[in-house]
Amino acid sequence: MHEQAPLELIRGDSHDVRASVIWLHGLGADGYDFAPVVDMLNLAEVRFILPHAPAMAVTRNQGYVMPAWYDLYAPSELQQEDLTGITRSALYLSSLIENEINRGVACNQIVLAGFSQGGAIALHSATRYPKKLAGVLALSTYFPLKATLAKEAHTANLSTPIFMAHGRTDEIISLDRALGSRLSLQESGFTVQWHEYAMAHSVCAEEINDIRLFLTGLLQQDLIE
């Protein structure tokens, strides 16, 4: 399924890595999509893992084959969600976490991050993962498979900070939908830090700076000047 190895970015010596951020891109993109953002974050001693989603036919896009973490159905995944695809990608993300642990990074120094579809997988995985993580970055996204959370949620990450950010003019995933996802997470006991920005379905400079502060706080890393 995942034939292409993830992109890995490290600022400094790889022997000094003390933390990892696994960052999943959005629909139709690849691991290189957020490489410029990683460069702007400018963090030392952090390994950024940027995996590439497999190519698949996306139903909502008339069956067009593109990189995707799961299928999207027409007219809306609010009516039907790709349980199989979401579960498969979550298992892949779990394997990436375990790989970082095997490389010597403590689980509580691993952050799950994602944009849009990638953020949905990060949220799905973190709420069910049985070991304590450092934090979650959920950007311009929503919380999938809410109906199964009650029976699948794990308490390990109830207090793990979730940085959830959204654009007020997002035309792909509405602000209201993202706010509904935040409420669902909070009602289930998870810890959400909410951020809104004057942007559409994208990232902005203010958001990147807030992400930088969030990660340095979580991982207690010094910034490279």
Beta pairing, strands 46-50 & 135-139? unpaired
Record: fold of 7-219: Rossmann fold (3.40.50)
For range 56-70, the mean pLDDT: 95
Q: 116, 125, 181, 184: which is the annotated catalytic residue?
A: 116
Tens digit of pLDDT for each residue in 163-217? Answer: 999 999 999 999 999 999 999 999 999 999 999 999 999 999 999 999 999 999 9
For range 126-153, the mean pLDDT: 95
Q: How confident is the model at residue 12 (pLDDT cuts 50, 70, 90)?
A: confident
Residues near 18 by beta carbon (within 8 Å), at least 6 away in sequence: 45, 46, 105, 109, 219, 221
State the virtual CA torsion across 172, 177, 183, 189 in degrees, nearest 10.
-50
3-class SS at 223? Answer: strand
Model pLDDT, residue 223: 46
Give the separation between CA 67 and CA 52, rounded to whole angstroms.
8
For range 7-14, the mean pLDDT: 87
Most confident residue range from 2-16, 51-65, 209-223 = 51-65
**The pLDDT of residue 222 is above 70:** no
Model pLDDT, residue 4: 87
116: annotated active-site residue: yes
Q: 195, 201, 202, 210: which is the annotated catalytic residue?
A: 201
Model pLDDT, residue 2: 58
95: annotated active-site residue: no
3-class SS at 120? Answer: helix
Q: 33, 71, 82, 170: which is the annotated catalytic residue?
A: 170
159: annotated active-site residue: no
Evaluate whether 124 touches 147 at the Cβ level (below 8 Å): no
Q: How confident is the model at residue 220 (pLDDT cuts 50, 70, 90)?
A: confident
pLDDT more than 90, % of the chain: 85
